[in-house]
Structures are given as structure tokens and as C-alpha cells.
Copies of this chain bind each other. A is one copy, B any other.
């Protein structure tokens, strides 16, 4: 086996690792759409919805006869954003006290806004989002240098040991979650200043370069993440330094060493897609060198959006039934999807998988 082939397998194994839920988790267990106001905003595993069954006044866990799918719905009787938020939070605080879910031990008193098609539906404690498989969006900056002797070099940060998630791990130079009211590039610029003290005359060279999507699962729950990526070429003599206490070190690595770092257990698994995408876009990982190149690129952009389409599927089934009714003139069993509480075991809509 040539060294190229060895490299190939490692990259594919890594891409499979940060897509462990997409590739195997989705098929394995009973997973249900989490529906708020008729829109799917999450995915809930059986170990979570079994606990939610204890709160029938908050969650309606039922089978929809139309889509042949079990769903977890937030009680549609809740009137507005605030009532939905409060009712959900009551449950989350209870679950936290029960200590069943490690994710809730990282409670931050920090909210994440759950939206659907540009409408805010509720806010949820950030630490709880993996339990509901809520899609998260972030920004990442690939800080790089065209070094006169070492070629393409990449700045990495080492996360602070006091961080709640992935403490002490190596990570992209700058990264952060999207917050309500901030644009995507705006967030990147803000994070560049806070995390790496990048001055405005350098950050003006920021180039939007697309996004990566992957679906990771850990003990904490589900991570259907999309990261908007930016490239920033920096002068050879610039050295980033941290301003917010979230970073303990920065290191500039030649592209080859950067690849090696990504494979170590010291690198944050969910940041690897951003580095791999950067190295592919800049010609440092190529289809001629790496077997399974196509598969790796596909695993940097998994179709997350197509996994959150309960509403679309419901509409499709309803349309098909109406058409059939027109053709046959017969009334069809009409399920308006109110709590059927069927005792039949349900199938998740993703059984045949991606």
C-alpha cells in the first residue's frame, strides 16, 4: 500500500467520524422529527423522547398516519414565543435535576434561538440543543500565510482549558456561533477581534468561501452543524493574540503539518471539516493524491437541510391523497395529525438512510 493510499483512508475515516450520526446513527434507532408550530426544527432520539413522554402537557408524542412517522411536537396550544420558551425550559430544568443527560450538566444560562424559515419560534438553553438535534450555525476563519520558504501555512488556536466544550483542543484560528441580530460576516469580524485581535485593516481582506455541513453525535447528543467559512490571508509577520480568555495559544503550521495535527486526538473533531475543506480548496489535498476524494468532499457537505423536512413531506402526502381522491372519487381516511397516541411502533422517516 502506497503512502498516498494510507493518507486516503485516514481522511475518509475522519470524515466518517465527524459524520457518525449521518452515516450510521440516522439508520440505527427510532429518531423523530421535533416539530414546533408545524415546522420541523429538530430530531429527537428515543432515549430523549422516552423522557419527554413524562410531560404530556408540553410534548405531544404521536404517530402521524399521513407520513407514517412518529413525531415529537411541542404542544401547539402554547400561544407564543414566550409561552413556548417557558414551558420547554421548565422541562429542561427538571431533566437537568434528574441528571440523566450529560449535555444538561453543561448548562450555561445562555439562550439559543430556534427558528424556522426566518421566523423565531422559541429560545432554548444552549446546552440542551444537542438533545433536540437543533441545527447550529457558526463561522470559522482560516487564517493563513504564504510563507516565502515554507509555502502555505495555517494559523491554529488551542482552546482554553476552562472552556465548557473541547477544552485544550486545537481548533481553527477563529470560530464562533451565530447570534441573534448579527450577520454572518459581521460575526466573523467580531470573533476575529475577540479571539485573535485581528485589526480592521487586516480583517478587511476576509473572503467568504462557502460552508461545510456535517452531522456528528457524541455523549452530549446530536450536532447537525453548518459552518460558514472565511479565508483570511495574513502578513508573514502578524501574530494573533487572544483578547477574551478563550484561547491559550496560537501556532502557525505548514500545510503538511496542519494535516497531521488534524488527525491527532488533540484536534477538535467538529473543526476538522473546516481545515480539510480549506486544504482541498487551496490544492493541498487533491483527487490525484487521495483515494475516495469524491466521498470525502461529499461528507463535508452532507444534506442536512433534507433531514428537516417533516412539513414538506406532510404537504406532499396530503397533495397525493387529494389527487387520489379526485381520481377515485372516494373519501380517504383523513388524519389531521392531532395526537393519535397510536400504540403501533412507529418508523422514522429516515430508515433507508441517506
Contact = CB atoms under 8 A, between A and B. Distances in A.
B306 A211 contact: no
A299 B211 CA distance: 12
A297 B210 contact: yes
B301 A300 contact: yes
The main secondary structure of chain A at its interface with chain B is mixed
A211 B288 contact: no
A351 to B, nearest CB: 6
Contacts of A302: 298, 303
Nearest to A307: B354
A231 to B, nearest CB: 8
Interface in A300-354: 300-306, 349-354
Contacts of A298: 213, 301-306
Contacts of A282: 207, 209
A211 B294 contact: yes
A281 interface: yes
Most chain B beta carbons < 10 A, residue from A208, A304, A350, A353: A208
A294 B352 contact: no
Contact of A352 (B184, B286, B350): B350
Contact of A303 (B184, B210, B350, B354): B354
B305 A303 contact: no
Most chain B beta carbons < 10 A, residue from A207, A209, A287, A305: A287
Given A210-B280, A210-B281, A288 B352 contact: no
Most chain B beta carbons < 10 A, residue from A137, A293, A300: A293
A185 interface: yes
A21 interface: no
Nearest to A206: B283
Interface string A220-240: 000000101000000000000
A183 interface: yes
A225 to B, nearest CB: 11
A214 to B, nearest CB: 11
Nearest to A185: B288
Given A184-B287, A185-B286, A286-B185, A297 B211 contact: yes
A283 B209 contact: yes
A28 to B, nearest CB: 11
Nearest to A186: B288
B184 A288 contact: yes
A288 B178 CA distance: 12
A283 B352 contact: no
Interface of A: 137, 183-185, 207-211, 213, 226, 228, 277, 280-283, 286-288, 293-295, 297-306, 349-354
30 contacts: A183-B288, A184-B287, A184-B288, A185-B288, A207-B282, A208-B280, A208-B283, A208-B286, A208-B287, A208-B288, A209-B280, A209-B281, A209-B283, A210-B277, A210-B280, A210-B281, A213-B294, A226-B294, A228-B287, A295-B305, A298-B302, A298-B304, A298-B305, A301-B301, A302-B303, A306-B353, A350-B352, A351-B352, A352-B352, A354-B354
